[in-house]
Amino acid sequence: MTLPFLWHGGAIAAARARFGDPGPQGWLDLSTGIAPIAYPYSRLPVQAWTRLPDSDLAEAFIGAVRAAHHLPAVAAVLPIAGEQAILGLLPLCNAPSGAVCVPKPGYRGHAEAWAAAGRLVHERADPLETAGEGGVIVVINPNNPSGRRWSAESLLVAASAQAAAGGWLIVDEAFGEVTPDLSVLAYSGRPGLLVLRSFGKFFGLPGLRLGWLAGPPEVVGPLALRLGPWAVSGPALALGARAEADELWRAGQRRRLARLAVKLDGVLSRAGLVGLGGTDLFRLVEVPAGTRALDWFEGLAAQGILVRPFADAERALRFGLPGTQAARDRLAAGLARAAVK
């Protein structure tokens, strides 16, 4: 077992190196939480490519985000080239001192970024337990991979308690587009509350590298300076502005993803895998007692189906959404074969 599969999804090149080429049908990549249906990306303006991404491109994207997500005027918005691009900077720009509390299970990038900056990092199932102690608290809502949810109310209470203690609450809403009721975006701009959003997962365009951060200007401003003037590509900003403003497509995508997720549930439960949680962009399941997730992972990978195992959860597997009936049929057949193996 090589490291990349346990560290993040989408590592098809590593899968090919480890398991060989699955033949003409290619890999079925269910190892990420990325929508299998992409926002139409053709017909971008020429200048998105041939000019430096000027401030008007960024402003158009920010304006679309503000309108789509009902951001209050007091919140500042910073476009970023994907979440990874900002995580390493957060500890460097006037971050509160004190302990850093991150969710476990949870996307590892948070803990790694704070640890790389020399900060003491605690992992908790519910990081909100330390709200009011200051320092930095990170919540992923809904959680990846567990799907655990925190109500907007509980997050706002925690943010206030953190702010009163001079601390931050960072809410990573990377999968938040499919759970609008949980979002605290409408309250962003409050002291101590930072909200992170991913673009590529919901819109099915992770190759673009696009996301954004919303928070109080006194936090966002120094981060923007640090990122410099051209941190996000022209194609990403131009397409992002168009997609965020496309309410009809977004509503349709939410319905499509919900339908695909329910159909995935059927495939998984018929294979004897028990749902542990998830979002409409991925599902987390438990493999049957007496079997190991890594064996299922390898059995599927041998058939060209890549899913997501975890280093510290022996019986958990995460599945992204198959986008078609053919993909579901292939997964069902793959699971049947992996199970008897």
Q: If binding is defined by CB under 8 A, does position 10 make contact with a second copy?
A: yes
Residue 84 or 179 having the CB closest to a second copy: 84
Q: Compute the Cα dihedral for 11, 12, 17, 22 and give only its sign.
A: positive
Site for a second copy in 89-118 (CB under 8 A): 89, 92, 109, 116
Which residue stretch of 162-170, 230-238, 258-266, 276-284 sits at the interface with a second copy (rule: CB under 8 A)?
Answer: 230-238
Q: Applying CB under 8 A, which of residues 139, 182, 208, 331 lies at the interface with a second copy? A: 208
Q: If binding is defined by CB under 8 A, does position 52 make contact with a second copy?
A: yes
Q: Applying CB under 8 A, which of residues 50, 73, 181, 340 lies at the interface with a second copy? A: 50
Residue 51 or 270 having the CB closest to a second copy: 51
Q: Applying CB under 8 A, which of residues 72, 217, 229, 288 lies at the interface with a second copy? A: 229
Going by C-beta distance under 8 Å and a sequence separation of 6 or more, which residues neighbour residue 114?
Answer: 90, 91, 100, 102, 121, 136
Give yes or no for a contact between 249 and 39, defined as CB atoms under 8 angstroms apart.
yes
Q: If binding is defined by CB under 8 A, does position 232 make contact with a second copy?
A: yes
Alpha carbons 180 and 189: distance in angstroms, whole number:
18
Q: Applying CB under 8 A, which of residues 48, 68, 157, 332 lies at the interface with a second copy? A: 48
Going by C-beta distance under 8 Å and a sequence separation of 6 or more, which residues neighbour residue 3?
Answer: none
Alpha carbons 97 and 86: distance in angstroms, whole number:
18
CB atoms near residue 85 (< 10 Å): 17
Residue 180 or 222 having the CB closest to a second copy: 222
Give yes or no for a contact between 297 and 309, defined as CB atoms under 8 angstroms apart.
yes
Residue 327 or 338 having the CB closest to a second copy: 327
Q: If binding is defined by CB under 8 A, does position 322 make contact with a second copy?
A: no
C-alpha distances (whole Å) from 291 to each of 40, 128, 295, 335, 336 are 41, 33, 7, 13, 14
Alpha carbons 236 and 75: distance in angstroms, whole number:
22
Q: If binding is defined by CB under 8 A, does position 230 make contact with a second copy?
A: yes
Q: Applying CB under 8 A, which of residues 105, 135, 142, 206 lies at the interface with a second copy? A: 206
CB of 230 to a second copy, least distance (A): 6
C-alpha distances (whole Å) from 268 to each of 237, 286, 313, 318 are 37, 10, 18, 11
Which residue stretch of 86-94, 141-149, 253-261, 263-271 sits at the interface with a second copy (rule: CB under 8 A)?
Answer: 86-94
Residues in touch with a second copy (CB under 8 A): 4, 8-14, 16, 29, 32, 34, 38, 41, 47-56, 59, 81-82, 84-85, 87-89, 92, 109, 116, 200, 204-209, 226-236
